[in-house]
Structure 1
Amino acid sequence: MSLPVVHIARLDWVEPLAVAVGLNRREGALALLAGAGDPSAHGGRWSFVACEPDRMFVGAVDDAAPFETLRDFCFAGGGVVGLMSYDAGARPATGARDEIWPDLMLARYPALLAFDHAAGEVRAVGRGVNAIEAEAQGRRAAGWRAEAVALSIPTAPAAAFVGEASPEAYEAAVADVVARIGAGELFQANIARGWSGRLAAGRDPFDVFARLSAERGAAYGAFWRLGQRALVSNSPELFLTFDPVTGRIETRPIKGTRPRAGDPARDAELAADLVASAKDRAENLMIVDLMRNDLARGAVPGSVKVERLFEVESHPTVHHLVSTVTATAAPGVGAAEVMEATFPPGSITGAPKHQAMKVIAGHEPPRGPWCGSLFGLGLAGDGGLTASVLIRTASFERDEAGWRFRALAGAGIVADSDPRAEREETEAKIQALKEALAGA
C-alpha cells in the first residue's frame, strides 16, 4: 500500500484548548494537550487537535500476536492515534480480559492541527491519496481555528467518587505483596485501587478534561471520544518516543512520589525528602534496569544508556522521581516493534515483569485502559511515535442512563513498603482527577 501524500500549512497561533472546546462533541474528537504553564517543562512540546477520522478499529487483538493489528492498520502512514489496554499486553501472563473496554482502539486522522509550543506556530496537516486531496484535508483542519471557543470552566460533573474496595483491603493487598517479595517471588509490583461513579444527567466527559486542563494540565493530557467510549488522561509520564530518522528511542519511567504542599518551605522539604529516600531511589532503579532490558530487545547492542537518573519533576499535586533511558533502534525496527518490545510499561508492572503482572492480576480486576498506552504516530507530519503511560486517567462508557466512569491509582510496592503510606500515595495521585470529577 502506497503511503499518503502529506500537506502542511503553517498558521498563526491559537490556543489548542480553545479549538478542542469547539470540536469536542464531534465523532472521534481528539485533544492531546501539552499541559498548563510551560509545556516543555516535562517534555510536552506538541499539542494536537482533530476529529472525524476516516478509518477506525475497535476490538480485540490476537493473543499470540497483539501488535499485528497495528502493523496492518497503515501504521507507517502517520496520522494514527491508538490506545492499547493494559490487559492486552499483560494477557500472556494473566489471562485477564476486560469485558467492557476493548484491547485496542485505532483511528486515522486525514486532517489535524499540530501546535508547536516551542515555535509558537500551528501546523494544519492534511493527508490524502494525492496532493489535491491532502491539500483539501489541510484546509479542512485550518478551518477548525475559526471554531475555537474560549473555555468556560464547568462545575464538577459527578456527584460521587466511590472506592471499589475499602482502604483496609488495599493495605492488605500491599502487605501480601510485601510478604511475597520477602519470600523471593519478585522484587516489586505496582498495585492499584479503583474508583467509579456516574456523571450527572446531561454532563459529558469533556467537562472533566476541561477542569483538568484549565489549571492542572499535564505534559501528556488527553481527551479522546470514539463512539460510546471516551478517555480523559492527565498523565505526566512518557512511555516512549521513537524517531525513525535517527533511530532514537527514549523512555522516562516515573517511580517515587511525594504530595505537594501549599507552604513553599514544606513543599521544598518534601521534594528533598524524595531525592534522599533510599526506598524511592531503589524502586526507581529497579524499573530503570527493567526498561534497559526491554529497550535492548529492539536496540543496537551497546546503545542503551541511562541519560538522567533520579530527577525530580514537580507537578500540580505531586513531586515525582523520574529517570531517562535511551537507545538506538536496530535495523528493521519500527514503531510497532518498539512498542512490542516494551509493552506494558515497566513502571506500572514491576520486576520481574511477567511475575509482577501475575501478582497484580491476583489482587485486581482487569485494568482496561488504565496503565495501557495512548500513542500517536506521525501526527506533526513526520513519522515519529509518542506514547504516554495512561496513569491519572479515567475511562468513560455511555449507556442508556448516561456516562459511567472508572479511575485508578497505584503504588510501587517493594520490600520495605508500608501499607498505609502506599495507600496514602494512591490518594495523593488520584486527587486532581477526583476533584475534576466530583469537586474538592
Structure 2
Amino acid sequence: MNAEWTLNLLDPEFRRDPYPTLARLRAEDPVHRTRWGAWAVTRYDDVMQILRDKRMSRDMRNWSGFERKGTWKEHPELAHFASLYMMNTDPPNHGRLRGLMAHAFTPASVRAMRGVVESIADGLIAELRDGEPFELMSAFALPLPLAVIGRLFDFPYEDCPKLRRWSAAFAPFVEMTVTKAQKDEMRAAVQEFFGYLKYRIAAHRRNPGEGLVDRLLAVSAGADAGAGAEEKLSEDELLMNVAGMFFAGHETTANSIGNGLHALLRAPSELLRLRAHPEWVPNAVQEFLRFDGSSNIVIRVAMEGFELRGKPIAKGDVVMCMLGAANRDPAQFDDPDRLDVTRTGVQHATYGGGRHFCIGAQLANMELEVAFERLLKRFPRLEVDSLQVEWLDRVNLRGLNRFVMTGWG
C-alpha cells in the first residue's frame, strides 16, 4: 500500500460507502496504522481475535493519549458517565453490570415480548397507505424499536418524540470523529435526559412495578435478594446504564431495518426468493446484518504490547475493529459482496464478540424478523424513490437518514 495513503474517516465518499476502502485495506494492509496512531484491523479472524483477547480493554481511559488528546477532556462529566456504561467497562465491573441487565434479554424474555413487537409493528404499518410515498425511517424503522425499548423501560409512548431527540444527540458518543459542537449538544441532551430519568425513577420508587427499571432500583437500594454490596448500583451507574441501554436498544436496530431493506430492494432476485419463502426471514436477517450492518467500528485498547501480522501493537494503543470489513472478508464468506438470503451459518461480526458480545442481540434479531415479515407481507410491491435516499453522515452507526418509498398491497 502507498505509504502516503491512510484511512480517512472524514472522507465523504467513505462515509457514504465504506466498503471499497475497507476492501483495499483488508487486501493490502489488514493491520493499518492511521495518521492519528490508531490501528484499523480489517480481516475477520484478526477482528474476532482482538474482540476475544483478554489483554484488550474497552475503557478508553487506558489509551496512552487519553490525557493529551482525549475527546471528552472538555466535558469531564461526559467522560465520567461514559466510564460507567456497561459496554465501556472491563471486569469485574463489566460482569457485575451485565449480570444485572441480562435477565431482560434471555430467550424466554424475548419470546414473551414478541406479541408486543408484532402489535407495535402492525400499528405502524396500518398508518401506511397503498400508493402513497412514505419515509421508512421516520414512519417505521425508528418508531418500532424505540417503542419496544421504551416499553421495556416503562417509558410512556407519548414521550417517544423527545426520547428520540435526546437519543439522536447521543449518536456521536460512539463516533471516532465527534466534534466540539456535537459534544456540546450531547452535554445538553444528557442533562435533559437524566432529568427525565430522575423523574421517572422517582415515580417507580413511589409505585414499584416488575420491569427492568424496578429491578435495577431494587439492586441499587440493596433490596435484591442475596445482593451484596459489590452488586449494588450507584445512582450514576443507574442513570448511565438506563440511558445507554435505551440508546443501544433502538438506534442500531432502526438502522439495520433501513440498511437491510435498502440492500434487499437493490437485489431484485433475492427479494423475489424471500417473498416466495417467507420462512427464510430469520436467516435473511443475519445476512442483512452481515452485508450492511449498522455497527462498523468497535474500539479496544491494548493493555500490553503484542504483534499482529508483523505490526507492533504497543501498550496503550487504540485498535479499531472494522466490523464492516470483517463481514465482507472473502476468507470467511463466499462471494461476500453479494447479498444472499439463503446463506446459512452466517457468523457475522456485527454483534461483536467475547465478553462484550451484544447483550440485546436476541431482542434485535426478533425485532428485525418481525419488521421484515410484516413489511413484505403488507406490501407485495415496493418501489424506492432513488432521489430521496440519503445516508447519515456517520462512520460507525451506519444508517439511512431518509429512505422514501411507495408500497402497494
Q: TM-score, normalised by structure 2?
A: 0.24
More helix by share: 2
Higher relative contact order by CA 8 Å / sep ≥ 6: 1 or 2? 2
TM-score normalised over the length of structure 1: 0.23
